[in-house]
């Protein structure tokens, strides 16, 4: 199918909820994707942080096909080995006690909120239900996670939203303290705000949240859907802060490209669910969990967390050097391979179009912010390609501004 036919079918038969890039992707291999005409692109969008091992990783695809041939679905009425192996590995990596499997980040966050509410209602019986979230956060598109999200633009037209959510200011501990009441059950935060434009929480702020948690008996939920599972150079972003949450959510990369989400909790909070309290038909299916086990094997065996750290530092240092040349970069920020370049002008969409014309996919997440989420397997040459093109784009821009 060619692009012209695809865009016509899309307009005719698909809800127009996405602003798609005019590009029809056909296949992927490693760090590259190919369009319908066979053009190659270095993929620094990675399906929005999903394809952490690049495309069609051999170990993951082999695990998926072997499991699909053996047993693809049976429902959570029965035990299956891939899910139980995965639960053991993830709880051990995170220091959590129990896992609930679902199919997306929004569902994982929804499960965390439900767990906290049920824990306070049925276990502690203290009537607390409020969740303090943060301005500019993103937690998903179900009605509950949309309410938790701290961006009004996504909420317009969906009233009435769920009650019981407040929004404090990210990295401002006084605003959190002010928001706490006798009804506060939890604080929910992305340790690195992703969709807002890659803003890491400060270590002081995270320690402050832990102190408030201990002082007020509040549950700390970390949404690591985007920043978790190696993206920042450690398995969990919270490891950078040495603050352990009471619950943590994951999704995006975990299924090696298949839909899979997980919510984990520890301690007494993990007793908040009982049989029948929460469920989903597809959650933790054998194929997605086999893919996830293969994903973990690959990251461990190839020591990819070290590569994430090294490549993240390399790109950051190169862009920082470029920033100092005064070509219009305001800031480069992020952790590991979850990076943003903030520009002085609103030209991020032009930059993304320029990169695409030159065979690299990046994401213009705000009018002046570029987000890159490269695969964990990138090499120096590919990391350098990003900075090289950024410089070329900014120099061309500066030249055309001068001519005006």
Residues forming contacts to ligand PLP in the complex (CB under 6 A) are: 48, 104-106, 109, 138-140, 190, 194-195, 223, 225-226, 251
Of 260, 318, 326, nearest to 289 by C-alpha is: 260
Phi and psi angles of residue 52, each rounded to the nearest 5 degrees, phi first: -65, -25
| Residue (128 or 139) nearer to ligand PLP, CB | 139
d(CA 59, CA 52): 13
**Min dist. Cβ of residue 225 to ligand PLP (A):** 4
**Min dist. Cβ of residue 338 to ligand PLP (A):** 10
Q: Which residues of 55-75 are buried (b: 16+ CB within 10 A; e: fewer)?
A: bebebbeebbeebeeeeeeee
| Residue (130 or 190) nearer to ligand PLP, CB | 190
Using a 10 angstrom Cβ sphere, with 0-12 exposed, 13-18 middle and 19 or more buried, the burial of residue 391 is: middle
d(CA 151, CA 334): 20
**Min dist. Cβ of residue 108 to ligand PLP (A):** 7
d(CA 294, CA 277): 30
**Min dist. Cβ of residue 190 to ligand PLP (A):** 5
Angle at 342 between CA 336 and CA 343, to 5 degrees: 145
As separate numbers, helices (DSSP H) first and strands (DSSP E) second, the chain gives: 12, 17
d(CA 105, CA 364): 21
**Min dist. Cβ of residue 397 to ligand PLP (A):** 29
d(CA 113, CA 189): 12
| Residue (104 or 219) nearer to ligand PLP, CB | 104
Give 81-98 as a DSSP string.
HHHHHHHHHHHHHHT-SE
| Residue (261 or 312) nearer to ligand PLP, CB | 261
| Residue (166 or 371) nearer to ligand PLP, CB | 371
Chain position whose Cβ is nearest to ligand PLP: 105
**Min dist. Cβ of residue 226 to ligand PLP (A):** 4
**Min dist. Cβ of residue 149 to ligand PLP (A):** 8
């Amino acid at each position: 199918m060619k692009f012209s036919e695809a865009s016509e079918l899309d307009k005719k038969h698909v809800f127009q909820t996405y602003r798609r890039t005019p590009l029809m992707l056909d296949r992927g291999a490693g760090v590259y994707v190919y369009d319908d005409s066979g053009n190659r692109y270095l993929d620094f969008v990675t399906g929005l942080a999903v394809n952490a091992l690049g495309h069609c990783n051999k170990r993951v695809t082999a695990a998926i096909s072997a499991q699909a041939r053996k047993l693809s679905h049976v429902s959570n009425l029965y035990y299956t080995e891939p899910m139980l192996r995965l639960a053991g590995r993830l709880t051990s990596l995170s220091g959590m006690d129990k896992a609930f499997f679902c199919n997306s980040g929004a569902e994982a966050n929804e499960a965390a909120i439900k767990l906290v509410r049920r824990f306070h209602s049925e276990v502690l019986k203290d009537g607390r239900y409020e969740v303090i979230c943060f301005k500019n956060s993103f937690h998903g598109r179900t009605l509950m996670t949309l309410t938790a999200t701290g961006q009004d633009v996504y909420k317009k037209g969906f009233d009435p939203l769920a009650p019981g959510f407040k929004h404090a200011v990210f990295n401002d501990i006084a605003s959190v303290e002010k928001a706490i009441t006798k009804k506060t059950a939890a604080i929910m935060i992305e340790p690195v705000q992703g969709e807002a434009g890659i803003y890491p929480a400060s270590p002081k702020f995270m320690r402050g949240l832990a102190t408030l948690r201990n002082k007020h008996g509040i549950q700390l939920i970390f949404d690591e859907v985007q920043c978790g599972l190696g993206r920042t150079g450690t398995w969990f972003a919270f490891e950078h802060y040495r603050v352990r949450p009471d619950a943590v959510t994951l999704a995006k990369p975990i299924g090696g490209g298949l839909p899979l989400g997980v919510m984990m909790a520890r301690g007494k909070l993990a007793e908040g669910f009982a049989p029948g309290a929460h469920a989903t038909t597809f959650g933790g299916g054998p194929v997605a969990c086999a893919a996830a086990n293969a994903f973990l094997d690959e990251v461990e065996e190839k020591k990819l967390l070290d590569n994430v750290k090294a490549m993240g530092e390399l790109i950051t240092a190169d862009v920082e050097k470029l920033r100092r040349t005064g070509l219009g970069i305001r800031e480069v920020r992020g952790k590991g391979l979850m990076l943003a370049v903030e520009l002085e002008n609103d030209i991020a969409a032009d930059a993304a179009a320029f990169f695409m014309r030159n065979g690299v996919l990046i994401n213009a997440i705000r009018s002046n912010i570029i987000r890159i989420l490269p695969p964990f397997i990138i090499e120096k040459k590919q990391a350098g390609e990003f900075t090289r093109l950024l410089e070329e784009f900014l120099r061309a821009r500066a030249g055309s501004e001068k001519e005006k």
